[in-house]
Amino acid sequence: MDAVLTQDSPDSALARRRAGTWWQIAWPIALAVLVAAATAYGLTDGRDVAPVVAASGLVYLAAAATQRRWAAWVAFGIAFALISLDKFADLDAMPWLLLLAGVLVVAGPASRRAHPWWALPLQTAAMLVLGATAVLALQLDPTVGGLLVSAALLGHAAWDAHHHRTGRVVDQALARFCAVLDVLVAILVGVVTLTA
């Protein structure tokens, strides 16, 4: 009799799954909106967001190099701290982000875990493109540099969408978070650049 009383009805189990699914979708989006708002604070030059472009490659590279999906969240936390110091304490985040990427590329092959052969080279190539784009954007005039940052973020949002759909390298929550963040910040940078 007790077993019958403690069993979930199909409706309550479905309701719990829907609530869990809703939460799994909502929290990365909410976090992305908060981080985008923090990025918007005091922004007057779209080129100032160039380190975010490099960081977007770094988080995927961290997961590929370590073969641990959660490493992308750790890399995001480190990148967020460096970019915050760049914004509020005059620390140049770009060299540190690129140095971390270099360490991951060198340390990645030392991993003894089995993984798809293409994961690290593909994420390394993406990091090279994003890092070079970020560095180039800083060298250009404010309008061209800002638009390059915006375009790079939109391109990375497509990368996020691909990884969200395939479930490769990072978990879907991170891919969803990054996609929303990249699109919001790309729009913000575009608006700031074109109205400055």
pLDDT at 2: 44
pLDDT at 113: 59
pLDDT at 147: 97
- Scan for tokens 């990427």, then name that residue: 101
pLDDT at 115: 60
Q: Which tokens in the block code for residue 81?
A: 């701290």
pLDDT at 6: 45
Q: How far apart (Å, rounded) are the C-alpha atoms in residues 119 and 44?
A: 37
pLDDT at 129: 96
pLDDT at 24: 79
How big is the chain, counted in residues?
196
DSSP 111: -
Q: What is the pLDDT along the chain (196 residues), one digit of tens a residue?
A: 444 444 555 555 545 555 558 777 889 999 999 999 999 999 999 999 999 999 999 999 999 998 888 999 999 999 999 999 998 898 999 999 999 999 999 887 766 555 666 778 889 999 999 999 999 999 999 999 999 999 999 999 999 999 999 888 898 999 999 999 999 999 999 999 999 8
Instruction: Name the CA radius of gyration of the chain, rounded.
Output: 19
Residue (of 19, 104, 21, 113) closest to 59 by Cα position: 104
